[in-house]
Structure 1
Amino acid sequence: MPGNRVRIGERTTGGRDPLPRLLVQLLERAGAPVTVERATSRPWASALFQGRRHVVALLLAGPDAAARRTAFLEGIEEAEWSLTGHFVADISIDDNHALPGGEWIELSALTIEDW
């Protein structure tokens, strides 16, 4: 699907941006068909840590989209993510609802560089 191209290994000032790897795992969790409607990543830092803040919007389609949305949301805060050089410090659902022909999910995640 042309709308879901993910460029793995994009460089940022602090190393590789983990967003492409996180997107791949989010798409796997959501199941097909799913479209990335928006995915942004920006630097984040505190006094002790540096990382990136991500916002992702997904549109799930198909006859089972409602069930897939429910499964996607269940336990996402405790889910394990494999991001070499980073870890997910926080992930939360900002919005989710049914749309004509699909299910909308918008989430935020904070990834921290793992020293």
Structure 2
Amino acid sequence: MTSIDMIAASGNLVRNGASAAKARDPLPRLLAQLVERAGPSVTVERAASRPWASALFQGRRHVVALNLTGPDAAERRAAFVEGIEEAEWNLSGHFVADISIDDRRPAPDGEWIELSALTIEDW
């Protein structure tokens, strides 16, 4: 049987404090930049984030659904989608390893975009 000394383990939380602050979920910062890229009259319909890890990296997987409204929604959707894979994102402590458009279609009041992104902690 394995046991753990809880007093010793809590000291580790203090030593890793800087890492914990750096590892915050970058979704709010990514959302702000996505909304800015989409332009005026955009609604975040859904945004979810979950932990992700590989043998060498850790980060988060994000799924975002946006609804663009207005008379120019189709043009804004096309501009939003164009070149998104090569776009630069400013996420301190993280970087966007992958971003892709999963679905895009007309909606009754505008245009619908669903995308997924993988952010990795930047060591």
TM bin, normalised by shorter chain, reads 0.7 to 0.9
Query: Quick one: distance in 2 between partners of 1:80 and 1:35?
Result: 22
1 or 2, which has the higher strand percentage? 1
Q: Structure 1 residues 27 and 101 mapped into 2: Cα distance closer, same or farther (>3 Å)?
A: same
How far off is 1:102 after superposition? 0.8
Where does the alignment leave 5 or more consecutive residues of structure 1 unmatched? 1-11
How far off is 1:89 after superposition? 0.1
Question: Partner residue of 1:84?
Answer: 92
Query: Quick one: distance in 2 between partners of 1:13 and 1:41?
Result: 17
Question: Partner residue of 2:73?
Answer: 65
Is the radius of gyration larger for structure 1 or structure 2?
Answer: 2
Question: Is 1:20 equivalent to 2:28 in the alignment?
Answer: yes
1 or 2, which has the higher helix percentage? 2
Query: Quick one: distance in 2 between partners of 1:104 and 1:84?
Result: 28
How far off is 1:15 after superposition? 2.2
Query: Quick one: distance in 2 between partners of 1:13 and 1:94?
Result: 30
Question: Partner residue of 1:30?
Answer: 38
How far off is 1:67 after superposition? 0.3
Greater displacement, 14-23 / 50-59: 14-23
Question: Partner residue of 2:57?
Answer: 49
What TM-score do the two structures reach when normalised by structure 2?
A: 0.82
Query: Quick one: distance in 1 between partners of 2:22 and 2:84?
Result: 26
- What secondary structure, in the 3-state scheme, does the structure 1 residue paired with 2:71 have? coil
What TM-score do the two structures reach when normalised by structure 1?
A: 0.88
Q: What's the Cα RMSD here?
A: 1.3
Where does the alignment leave 5 or more consecutive residues of structure 2 unmatched? 1-19
Q: How many residue pairs get matched?
A: 104
Q: Deviations over 1:47-93 (max 9, x none)?
A: 00000000000000000000000000000000000000000000000
Query: Quick one: distance in 2 between partners of 1:53 and 1:14?
Result: 17
User: Which portions of structure 1, spanning 4 or more consecutive aligned residues, are displaced by more than 3 angstroms?
Assistant: none
Match of 1:40 among 33, 45, 48: 48
State the percentage of identical aligned residues. Answer: 80
How far off is 1:13 after superposition? 8.9
